[in-house]
A = this chain, B = another copy of it.
Amino acid sequence: MSDLFQHSRRVTYADCTLGNHVYYSRYLDFLEEARGEFLRHLGASFLRWQEQDVIFPVLEVHLRYRAAARYDDVIGVAVSVARLDRIRVAFAYRVTRADGHLLLEGETQHVCTSLAEKPRRIPEEMAALLSPHVSPEAV
């Protein structure tokens, strides 16, 4: 895990629901944020692709909740590339508390499309940035 990209954030009241735990949909917001920072870290943000008529709508989401994050916890979201083909990419995530305790494992699958949502091939530059990070076993 030590080489994986990780993005951290602190849990706010906005993220929580009754019983002092993060509401179950909020993790998808955290994954989006971490995925965005991962792409930026690789060298080309989603915004840059969007400006080139390339977006990545979600096809599928799979989340396994392992423990609850609480208000004011600092959580880390590790991101890796689970799969990559000509038009699809899947990211894997591992959300942990600052003390290393596992909170959530997840995967999101995306298809490459134009802004008009027509499927298109993942740009070569992007595939080249992602492919060194394909690590199906990593997360």
Contacts and interface: CB of A to CB of B under 8 A. Distances in A.
A12 B24 contact: no
Interface in A14-52: 14, 16-21, 23-29, 32-33, 36-37, 45-47, 50
Which DSSP category, helix, strand, loop or mixed, fits chain A's interface? mixed
A61 interface: yes
Size class of the A contact interface (CB-based, 8 Å): 35 or more
A118 interface: no
Contacts of A89: none
16 contacts: A12-B29, A12-B33, A13-B18, A13-B32, A14-B28, A18-B71, A19-B117, A24-B32, A25-B25, A25-B26, A25-B27, A47-B72, A58-B65, A60-B62, A60-B65, A61-B62
Number of copies: 4
Nearest to A33: B12
A1 interface: no
Contacts of A36: 10, 12-13, 72
A88 to B, nearest CB: 13
A63 interface: yes
A59 interface: yes
Given A47-B72, A65-B57, A24 B28 contact: yes
A64 B110 CA distance: 11
A64 B108 CA distance: 10
